[in-house]
Chain A
Amino acid sequence: MQPANKTQLQLGFVPLTDSAPLVMAKELGFFQAEGLDVALRKQNSWATLRDKLQVGILDGAQMLAPMPLASQLGLGGNRAPIITPFVLSFNGNAITLSESLCRELCELHGLPLNKLPLPLPASLLKAVIDKRIQEGRPAMKFATVFAYSCHYYQLRQWFSDADIELGTEVEVQVLPPTSMVAALHEGVVDGYCVGGPWNAKAVRAGLGLTATSSCDIWPDQPEKVLGITQSWMQANPDTTGALIRALKRACNWLEELPNRFEAARILCSATYLNADLDVVAPTLLGSCLVHQGLNPRTISAYNRFRSAGQEGNNNPDSYYGRFLLNQMVEAGHIQLSQYKQIDSEQVFRADVYAQALRREQTAVL
């Protein structure tokens, strides 16, 4: 006899728009329907979320897609085998520039605000960077939420496409999402890459211009994943399957546009994001707010909760793991030897995902 699987679970989430699958699975009773009693625990820091997951204070958690890989290598914290059996979301981040950087940009290029090309190529920032150096002003500074995050790699990619090196020509620092808008306002940073609702928040407040989104930089790559430890998964194989099925149902539910607005309403509450509907709803409905004085851009895939294509899924394909490891190598976060140390298939567990959904099909028949 196998020991009983755990059914009372503590799941960690960070109050961001793309926590929607966890929130909706809870609110719509999808966890309950799978026999799970789930408490969602709001976390303020990715590092603390990771540490709690590693020691079992949390049973599972919403994680930045590179975090299970970073945890396997012991980057930043303890080395612990965290795996993912489920991709929670794709896309969802954007890069916002401060009003003053935006004005400088327009002046230097002799362009009015409404003639700036969107998505904005970072090459337009080159002139500003050079001018600041000439005038002996401080280097341009950007913020991101965590070192081992898609945000960091997207920011690096955006600049690198314009032959600008992040970390040298442009300084980069970590700030919690909740501090981003204030930092932009106070001039602590010139811009940032963050997830929702923090880009829309700056635009609504008249503090910035959202220049580009992760859909424009590398579309349809995973952003958040469900993280669990290998040992937890082995001790709770049935619960792992139940979690996957409940979350899959939530992600399917989130496909319908009318449901997106309902999700936005629920996410806004104090229990979850504690934010205004007018900053949470737009991205969920495929609208990227750009600037107070400009029309929003249509980006229908802004928040994806299933992969692109007709038969969208949440399969943690090992390809994603290799893609992220490549990003980590290019950013200089890991050595080639560390890259070789990791087998992506052992971290992005497509086999566990497939097994959980096979059971679902059998049950239906």
Chain B
Amino acid sequence: MNSHPNVADKVLEILLIDDDLDRAAAFSSALDHSRYHVSHLVSSRTSLLREVDQLKPDIIVIDIESPDRDILESLSTLSSFNPKPVVMFCEQDDSQLINQSVQSGVSAYVVGDVQSARVRSILDAAVARFQQYQTLKQELNETKHKLESRRVIEKAKALLMNKKNMSEAKAFNTMRKMAMDSGQKMEQVASTLLSILNTLDEKE
């Protein structure tokens, strides 16, 4: 049974970056007859971003000791790139410990032994968790935006009440009418009002 039915049927593209050819082969064969398709890259270094751009992998797998890890982290830290889930190989001894750190971070997972059957389940979990994280992030952004827009509207309303001696209802209706007349959102009207009223204030 697959626990993530929504992504179960899709072929998922893996970009594997590893200079260790034996490990890369073991990793690929662990994924034979699975829904994962592996593209292997040796010593990507300067071309990694281009490869990510062209291949559009669903998941990236890399040695935690690779210098290229900083490039992958920048996919989620620099706004001009799209974040990707990242799974990292590391020494068996360290894998448990490091997992504690990276799991609570963005969307990275650590795998100690590439030949184990765990590889598939870790990849499944990483993809699922990443999607969940992206959804949460989007929801958070929407909520933040809603709060911010309500704040701007409240502020403009208060300013109208104060400066123009309007009742709360009158101020609100005035802004709503302006929004309807101009085909703008309430938030846009409110921020225009704020900047106009504040500019007038400065000139007085």
* A residues lining the B interface (CB < 8 Å): 44-48, 51-52, 54-57, 74-80, 145-148, 167, 171-179, 182-183, 186, 188, 332
Contact = CB atoms under 8 A, between A and B. Distances in A.
Interface string B63-89: 011111111011011111000000000
B73 A77 contact: yes
A39 B98 CA distance: 20
The 5 closest A-B pairs by CB, nearest first: A176-B67, A174-B74, A147-B77, A45-B69, A44-B67
Contacts, number: 101
A148 B74 CA distance: 10
Contact of A78 (B71, B73, B76, B105): B105
B45 A148 contact: no
Contacts of B179: none
Given A45-B69, A57-B94, A146-B70, A51 B102 contact: yes
Contacts of B67: 44-45, 176-179
B78 A147 contact: yes
A333 to B, nearest CB: 8
Given A173-B78, A174-B74, A174-B78, A77 B102 contact: yes
Contacts of A182: 45-46
Contacts of A172: 78, 80
Contacts of A46: 70
B71 A174 contact: yes
Contact of B98 (A57, A75, A183): A57
A78 B104 contact: yes
B73 A175 contact: no
B101 interface: yes
Contact of B70 (A57, A145, A167, A186): A145
B100 interface: yes
A176 B101 contact: no
A184 to B, nearest CB: 9
A124 B49 CA distance: 28
Given A48-B65, A173-B49, A74 B78 contact: no
B97 interface: yes
Contacts of B64: 45, 48, 51
A57 to B, nearest CB: 6
B70 A77 contact: no
Nearest to A70: B77
Interface centre among A44, A48, A76, A79 (most CB of B within 10 A): A48
Nearest to A175: B71
Nearest to A174: B74
B46 A188 contact: yes
A173 B47 CA distance: 12
Contacts of A175: 45-46, 70-71
A192 to B, nearest CB: 11
Contacts of A78: 101-102, 104-105
B166 interface: no
Nearest to B81: A173
Nearest to B100: A55
A311 to B, nearest CB: 36
A23 to B, nearest CB: 19
A100 B3 CA distance: 53
A98 to B, nearest CB: 13
B178 interface: no
A167 B80 contact: yes
A238 B46 CA distance: 44
Given A47-B69, A172-B78, A77 B101 contact: yes
Given A76-B106, A77-B102, A183-B45, 9 more contacts: A45-B69, A45-B70, A51-B105, A57-B97, A77-B101, A147-B74, A175-B46, A175-B71, A188-B46
Contact of A44 (B65, B76, B105, B106): B65
28 contacts: A44-B65, A44-B69, A45-B65, A47-B69, A47-B70, A52-B98, A55-B100, A74-B105, A77-B73, A77-B101, A77-B105, A78-B102, A146-B70, A146-B73, A146-B74, A147-B74, A148-B77, A171-B80, A174-B73, A175-B71, A176-B68, A176-B71, A177-B67, A178-B45, A179-B45, A183-B45, A188-B47, A188-B50
Nearest to B93: A57
A54 B104 CA distance: 12
Nearest to B97: A55
Contacts of A186: 46
